[in-house]
Each structure stands twice: as structure tokens, then as C-alpha cells.
Amino acid sequence: GPAMAAVRDVEIDPQGTFKYILLRLQRPGGGDTRDIVRGTAAAEFHNHIFEKVNPEMEKLGYECKCLGGGKIDHNSKDKKIRVFGLSTGYGKADHSVTVEILKEVYTDYEITWSDDKK
């Protein structure tokens, strides 16, 4: 629907290394699901990101589930993004899924992932 299209696939800081979470949006009672990526250095913990995004999505009529987290290293100068690490609270996101979503938005970037902690 139009509201789902209004939700951006990716909202991450333009530069730096920061925590991120992978979220699944769903209409109550089933139907379409969609995965989105959110990350920011403003979040000290992964749940801070969820606590900000969840109410926004509920207003649009979505149930929001965190699929896990990690870290993103965004180098806008060299057009590189590295996805790694995990969330203590939510577990490790499937970074390969995150990378596919990031590639849709950052089409001219080199985007890689690993299970490294740092």
C-alpha cells in the first residue's frame, strides 16, 4: 500500500561507525512483510533505535519486529559500507539481508559484511 512505500528502506547516519538493527514490518493479521534497516550513532544501545522506530511504525499501522542487530561502518568518502558485529539484546541480524537492502539504496557503493566483532 501507499503507506508502506512511504517508509524508507534505509535510514542510517551518513558517516561513521554505529549500531544498527534490522526490522520486519507487518500489517496486523498478516499480509505483506517488509524489512528495513535503521542505524545511528545517537543510539548508545540497539534498543534505543527500536524504541524510536517502533512508535513511528505503529502510527502507520505496522507491527514491528526486530530481527537482530550489529554495527555499520559507513565511509561516504570512499563509498564503502561494512556490516559486522551483533546486538547483545536482539542477537545478530542476518547481515547478508542487510547488505541486500543497503545495495538497493547505495547503488554505487562497495558493501561487505562479516561476523567480526570489530
Sheet with 16-26, strands from edge to edge, namely 10-12, 33-40, 16-26, 63-75, 80-84, 110-113
Q: Any known ligand binding at 19?
A: yes
Do the beta carbons of residue 70 and residue 98 sit within 8 Å?
Answer: yes
46 counts as catalytic: yes
From 46, 48, 74, 95, the catalytic residue: 46
In angstroms, rounded to a whole number, what is the distance separating the alpha carbons of residues 43 and 102? 19
Whose grid coordinates read 542477537?
91
Catalytic residues: 46
Annotated binding site: 19
Please enumerate, by residue number, every residue annotated as part of a binding site for substrate.
Answer: 19
